[in-house]
Structure 1
């Protein structure tokens, strides 16, 4: 009788550095020999056991293997008995029952040595290493792996050699020795591809992805995991599919894309519970706890951490236990329950030091330092944080290094040592910005939103030292970075691989932009920090840069003006009072309540709220703005301020800002400069002289994520507007069925003026619809021209008008407003006019006709729009 072939794949649990996180990285068992003369009943049972194992049906696999074991023991086939004992050990390890797994492996090792089965001996040594790895006993695991590797090479077992190299990579990954881990994984990948081992290849790709995730190299991490997921689904390996899905969730969590992270973790959890993978279930429960922790939903995080801690203690997973103690400590720290937090962290520190897990040790030391800082014990805080920083730099954990540098900066700030705080915040920003290379546009935005507070910390620290101009550089450095890089990439004509992003502008370059624009630049920065970030701040910073290069700074306490009200609430209520939903798709937040005040109070409320915004945003700098109403003022908002209708802000006397100034807005100074580099000024055009006007298309039906169907109403006022504009511009408007998405897409690149009067989508409110413009559906086109589709175009228009209320808003992120206006600018349009509040249909048509008339006469879009607004205000004072 010959020995029965072993199955290859298992996984292990490792600690992921960070606030408190978990990771699942796959490991492999070594293949044994093929059976030659096996009893038919034993072969049938063995095949059944293998099938159950591969499908994750571990209890059924145990039953089949135990029956095969009885047959081999009865007939005295010691070699095959050793193989079945090895397989039983493998299944019990998957169930997290490590003592039973060790017992079976030790029996298998004794038999294989007895019969001189060198290949089988190497298999079992490898698998014993896996158990000790799972128990967090890395020195013992390394010892068994080294023995297994020597035997595998001696007998020429390439599969076994690759498996052991993979597992060595996993140990070094958990020890934080990432270069060694990468070296072992690369050797494994070469062997897997050489021998055509698809399952092994997928396993190794997960390991590589996990290392790159911990190194903060997220594009590579996503790429390796996506490759692995494809392979494991192709070979129908549910066990490894679950591991890969969980790891993808970890990468998206690090990027701050929490909905995607939750989606991947929930998929992984379902698979792991379905197949009875206890250790994998524990790891995914912990990962879910981490996401809810990052979302600030601490009760849910506690629930997940408690569940996974119970599982890890039940199965003897010391690494998992340490990981969950870190998570529990982090939750109690953010709840302000510092004694409990310290207790959990100290328990975790003892475990991770016992295991020699350097990344988790760095995490625990960092978190201990954060607690002592919050307790005002700055000496202890610095001691722990310096230890954490040394470890994180040693193991190459860039994201962890950034976190610890932030904590050191905060500690020095609270110690009234702003110069040292500045040094560490600058270092943290350098780290965060190094993580952006190669990410997609969306991922860059998400990553920035998770670390934006570092820029706030640094500005507070600089202003505390009266370094207001350097703070302006940081304000500019911390805004619209993904937008800038996307625009610069388009302008460069280079491939993504060749492209080097432009550095943030210096003070000299900021002054130069003001001079070239011949405008006064007004840059706002909102500092809204909660206690969980180490300090409470609610301030508004304003810099005013004159065309002559002079820079002035003003600092405003928001609470003093708003009486502790929320700025976001004030902006939103102002927009509602102005009737901002005039031509939006009508999709409101699920919890929104529409309040219709009586007409007498509506105007009063609108004026009061807009005057409050004027008091906050304009009055502190009114003396710095030009006195000539034709001089340009370019506002550079941030956060909620992107939604402020600056021209409509009235002063205490009721005079609107547009009556005093010619107003433009932009997301950043650097975007202004890149727009100028398109080479088209106010009087120039880049298209072929065509005009595209669209009004009241045959409306599409929108399918919401909930399954609900939304029928869009017809807009006869928009049709009249489009007809009047088209007649004035000497063209024919696309109306009704003629305004199809395909026709508009075909004509957009050739047009130099585009006027769209139709429904526009504000944002998705969680319904899953991207920013879009409603057009007529036809054929395969759904009639929704999305921001994503616009980004794929190369436009030559000098001007696009979005005459649909709220069309241009989009989602507010640290990158500015991510919506249609951003997409159009990136696609090459230097100027966009967007409606921000409701205007009567007749007044809208008159306003736009007057604008085009003024523009034809003056060649200056900003002046033309201002004069058109003033004329319309006189004719329609309400």
Structure 2
């Protein structure tokens, strides 16, 4: 078919128009994409400002909108940074509520960002992401899969430090070292040795050196605060007083920067940390003065931090206040402590803060037990203590948290022991024995000789009382064996009060055993145990306890006089009774 020239002209015109239109379309589309990309970058910058101001919900909303419009391949750098900042928003929001859910979302955001920001193309962003991901895993470890999440956090920090070298990125290096210190400090709380906590201290000191050199006061104060926590943990393992004083010194250095006007939240956190250190120091020296300082620091923290502004931090401070008031003791203080623990539990629920929930219930049980010991509704308070300890043990299991499990189940055993004096004697003593036997499986002589000795001493008390209640001779023998195991790991220098009390109890156990076998031998062993107790329990230093042991010794000599050296042993019995009476009358006169 022949085609006319007009046809070619028409077709040529249409093709020309199509090509021109296509060119214009791509020009305008490219321009629109550039404008859109610019608008998205601007939106992201606005969200960054909100993030810096702590308006995490608002920032997160904008970041999500940006991500819906932004294509990864168009600007991988911006795409990855938006994901990172989304993760940061979620990480901070976790401290305000829905902790597990928000932290898991933060981890997901950081991991998605790492698919875009690779170490070969975006090394600094990659290192920052790894650091942030490590922080999220560390926080998540407090709630679930502790070992796994801490291991993941450690790997993240180590990856970050490969890029964040002290030569090229000193401040970033210091920040990651600080985070690494936090991780080692967390691991140290459940490890037996000193290795982890010493690694934490080394990491903090490295961070402090750099922050001091560059004049970064804010991060310097944060690292000092963390160092204080590390020294407090180390004090539980060695050189208690020395390390607690180091913890206090670190807090004071942090407070030189963290003033209530400039850094109110951080100031409150460090005051709370200072209160913890003074409370621990009160167990070693100057009890009254250090508890007074602990209470002052805790009240100062609570003055600045309100429940409305930061419920999570406020709950931690309420728990600390409760612990300090429990240590100070007295009915009014114990009642205030119980109320503080109940306030903390309104925030620290089992589903959101399982470890804190368990810790507070353990402390609550201690306060209730102490109140019962003062004669304040003993049956009611001891039963409430038992329930509190049982709630703690739903989280503190022997497999996942052995040290905490041992501490709480021993407290439970002690509560049952005290309750046995009020009701259901044999039943409660059997419960006490079961709990204390579980505790001693973990508090072994090799790993924790002091804790082992304490638990064995309490177990001896339970066996001895159960022997009286059940009339079963096997418990008499078990009581003696438990006390002997305890005193084998005690000395009058390291723990004089417990050394003396356990020897006094050992004497009673031998006296009980003498009623069923080897009368003379066991009475002689009883007298020997009382004599060891009296090396510590002197009339001048411990008159009440001295009188008690003298009375027990008098009874043993009286019993022994029935089978050997009658006159001599009766004279010794009389001498012991007279000594006991003298100090009993002296104490009565002083009270009168």
In the alignment, which residue of structure 1 is the partner of 2:481? 473
* Partner Cα distance (1:399, 1:361) in 2: 16
Q: Does 1:361 align with 2:357?
A: yes
Q: Does 1:306 align with 2:299?
A: yes
In the alignment, which residue of structure 1 is the partner of 2:29? none
Structure 1: tracts of 5 or more residues without a match: 1-75, 93-97, 438-443, 484-523, 530-536, 574-609, 626-649, 655-878
In the alignment, which residue of structure 2 is the partner of 1:554? 526
RMSD: 4.8
In the alignment, which residue of structure 1 is the partner of 2:348? 352
In the alignment, which residue of structure 1 is the partner of 2:242? 260
Query: Quick one: which of 270, 274, 280 aligns to 2:252?
Result: 270
* Aligned partner of residue 331 in structure 2, secondary structure: coil
Q: Tell me the CA shift for residue 569 of structure 1.
A: 5.9
Query: Quick one: which of 402, 425, 440 aligns to 2:436?
Result: 425
Query: Quick one: which of 500, 508, 512 aligns to 1:526?
Result: 500
Q: Tell me the CA shift for residue 360 of structure 1.
A: 0.8
In the alignment, which residue of structure 1 is the partner of 2:460? 459
The alpha-carbon distance between structure 1 residues 612 and 82, as it changes in their structure 2 partners (threshold 3 A), is closer
In the alignment, which residue of structure 1 is the partner of 2:330? 335
TM-score (norm: length of structure 1): 0.44
In the alignment, which residue of structure 2 is the partner of 1:799? none
Q: Does 1:391 align with 2:427?
A: no
* Partner Cα distance (1:539, 1:394) in 2: 30
The alpha-carbon distance between structure 1 residues 539 and 238, as it changes in their structure 2 partners (threshold 3 A), is same
Q: Tell me the CA shift for residue 429 of structure 1.
A: 2.9
Query: Quick one: which of 303, 311, 322 aligns to 2:315?
Result: 322
Structure 2 counterparts to residues 539-688 of structure 1, below 5 A? 551-552=522-523, 553-554=525-526, 567-568=537-538, 570=540, 620=556
- Cα-to-partner distance string for 1:230-287 (whole Å, 9 max, x where unaligned): 4213433614531431221331354485523432332332333233354443333223
In the alignment, which residue of structure 1 is the partner of 2:198? 223
* Aligned partner of residue 395 in structure 2, secondary structure: helix
Q: Tell me the CA shift for residue 571 of structure 1.
A: 6.8
In the alignment, which residue of structure 2 is the partner of 1:122? 83
Structure 2 counterparts to residues 500-511 of structure 1, below 5 A? none
* Contact kept? 2:154, 2:180, Cα under 8 Å: no
In the alignment, which residue of structure 2 is the partner of 1:285? 271
* Aligned partner of residue 570 in structure 1, secondary structure: coil
Structure 2: tracts of 5 or more residues without a match: 1-37, 120-125, 166-172, 212-218, 468-474, 492-497, 562-570, 576-592
* Partner Cα distance (1:611, 1:166) in 2: 59
In the alignment, which residue of structure 1 is the partner of 2:566? none
In the alignment, which residue of structure 1 is the partner of 2:7? none
The alpha-carbon distance between structure 1 residues 127 and 555, as it changes in their structure 2 partners (threshold 3 A), is farther
* Aligned partner of residue 155 in structure 2, secondary structure: helix
- Cα-to-partner distance string for 1:672-710 (whole Å, 9 max, x where unaligned): xxxxxxxxxxxxxxxxxxxxxxxxxxxxxxxxxxxxxxx
The alpha-carbon distance between structure 1 residues 653 and 336, as it changes in their structure 2 partners (threshold 3 A), is closer
Larger RCO of the pair (alpha carbons < 8 Å, separation 6+): 1
* Aligned partner of residue 527 in structure 1, secondary structure: helix
* Aligned partner of residue 235 in structure 1, secondary structure: helix
Q: Tell me the CA shift for residue 421 of structure 1.
A: 0.9
Structure 2 counterparts to residues 24-423 of structure 1, below 5 A? 86=48, 89-90=51-52, 98-99=54-55, 116=75, 117-138=78-99, 139-156=101-118, 158-175=126-143, 177-197=145-165, 198-199=173-174, 201-236=176-211, 238-255=220-237, 258-276=240-258, 277-294=263-280, 295=282, 297=288, 298-313=291-306, 316-333=309-326, 334-337=329-332, 338-353=334-349, 356-373=352-369, 374=372, 375=377, 376-377=379-380, 378-393=382-397, 396-413=400-417, 414-415=419-420, 416=425, 417-423=428-434
* Partner Cα distance (1:355, 1:612) in 2: 48
Q: Tell me the CA shift for residue 481 of structure 1.
A: 4.3
TM-score (norm: length of structure 2): 0.62
* Aligned partner of residue 526 in structure 1, secondary structure: helix
- Cα-to-partner distance string for 1:444-482 (whole Å, 9 max, x where unaligned): 78xx3x785434322221222343443343334334649
* Partner Cα distance (2:542, 2:461) in 1: 27
The alpha-carbon distance between structure 1 residues 218 and 153, as it changes in their structure 2 partners (threshold 3 A), is farther
Q: Tell me the CA shift for residue 110 of structure 1.
A: 6.7
The alpha-carbon distance between structure 1 residues 292 and 204, as it changes in their structure 2 partners (threshold 3 A), is closer
In the alignment, which residue of structure 2 is the partner of 1:54? none
* Contact kept? 1:615, 1:651, Cα under 8 Å: no
- Cα-to-partner distance string for 1:291-333 (whole Å, 9 max, x where unaligned): 4444354443332222222333278332221112222333444
* Aligned partner of residue 567 in structure 1, secondary structure: coil
* Aligned partner of residue 94 in structure 2, secondary structure: helix
* Aligned partner of residue 501 in structure 2, secondary structure: strand
The alpha-carbon distance between structure 1 residues 168 and 279, as it changes in their structure 2 partners (threshold 3 A), is same
* Partner Cα distance (2:350, 2:303) in 1: 20
* Partner Cα distance (1:120, 1:83) in 2: 11
- Work out the number of aligned pairs and report it: 450
1 or 2, which has the higher helix percentage?
2
In the alignment, which residue of structure 1 is the partner of 2:123? none
* Partner Cα distance (2:50, 2:409) in 1: 48
* Aligned partner of residue 396 in structure 1, secondary structure: coil
* Contact kept? 2:181, 2:200, Cα under 8 Å: yes
The alpha-carbon distance between structure 1 residues 177 and 235, as it changes in their structure 2 partners (threshold 3 A), is same
* Partner Cα distance (2:254, 2:549) in 1: 53
Larger radius of gyration: 2
